[in-house]
């Protein structure tokens, strides 16, 4: 029998090996649904149904169910604030980060439920349209948040995690890594033709895509590098004024909206 699980904590490390010492490849956010591929002791190898990312997770942090049909007709909403607080059936407080999925959310009484669990929010959430203004404002919400390889929350986020979460909030599904995200959207040939909210991709000396950021217009980019920051961008790449040098070489521009 196929087995699925629901993440019911703020975020869950998705590791590349079944060990607490293994590298965090990504994170699963509250409300994410995963399919169990295999189990090894206290660990499960899983695939995220949102972006098809595969990794290992600790079994102790999941709520299991056996049939995807149980949830296929549920309406979902996505958290737009950096984080919100909720309480569950047992009156426990739960932090829910930006980009988390709320199943069967009712804005009238601020409740949502999933597979028998009922949650009450401390504040309302907003369904945002997929436009450049909303995307840029959501990205700015993360400004100065620390960089974390594999991270997707305000406590630590990497370049493609920032992009994925921001676009998820406005209803656009992007894959997880920059090298995957570059296959989305329409190619824009020159920076002069770029519009706010276009994605800018950067490569290394082997011409592999290794970085991504969101264009703000007026030759500015917001991206996660050391922290979420705003830097200058030109046709060569990202120029950091604080260190007076180029840090990333521009490879391609893609328009998603």
Label residue 216 exposed, middle or buried (CB < 10 Å: 0-12, 13-18, 19+). buried
Which active-site residues does the annotation give? 159, 211, 223
HSE at residue 13, side-chain half, CA atoms within 13 A, is 17
Pairing of strands 83-87, 24-29: unpaired
Nearest Cα residue to 239 out of 254, 224, 250 = 250
CA pair distance 51, 54, nearest whole angstrom: 9
Distances (CA, A) of 139 to 65, 86, 170, 185, 227: 34, 23, 12, 19, 12
First to last CA, the chain: 39
């Amino acid at each position: 029998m196929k087995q699925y699980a629901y993440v019911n904590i703020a975020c869950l490390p998705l590791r590349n090996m079944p060990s607490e010492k293994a590298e965090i490849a990504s994170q699963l956010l509250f409300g994410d649904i995963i399919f169990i591929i295999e189990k090894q002791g206290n660990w499960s190898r899983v695939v995220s149904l949102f972006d098809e990312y595969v990794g290992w997770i600790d079994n102790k942090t999941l709520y299991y169910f056996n049939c995807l049909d149980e949830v296929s007709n549920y309406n979902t909403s996505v958290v737009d604030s950096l984080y919100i607080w909720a309480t569950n059936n047992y009156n426990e407080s739960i932090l829910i980060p930006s980009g988390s999925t709320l199943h069967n959310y009712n804005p009238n009484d601020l409740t949502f439920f999933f597979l028998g669990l009922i949650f009450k929010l401390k504040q309302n959430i907003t369904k945002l349209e997929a436009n450049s203004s909303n995307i840029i404002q959501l990205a700015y919400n993360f400004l100065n948040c620390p960089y974390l390889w594999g991270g997707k929350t305000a406590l630590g986020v990497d370049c493609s995690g920032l992009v994925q979460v921001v676009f998820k909030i406005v209803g656009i599904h992007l894959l997880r890594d920059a090298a995957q995200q570059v296959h989305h959207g329409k190619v824009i040939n020159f920076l002069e033709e770029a519009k706010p909210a276009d994605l800018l991709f950067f490569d290394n000396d082997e011409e592999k895509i290794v970085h991504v950021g969101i264009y703000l217009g007026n030759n500015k980019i917001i991206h996660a590098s050391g922290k979420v920051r705003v830097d200058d961008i030109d046709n060569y790449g990202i120029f950091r004024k604080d260190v007076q040098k180029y840090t990333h070489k521009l490879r391609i521009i893609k328009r998603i909206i």
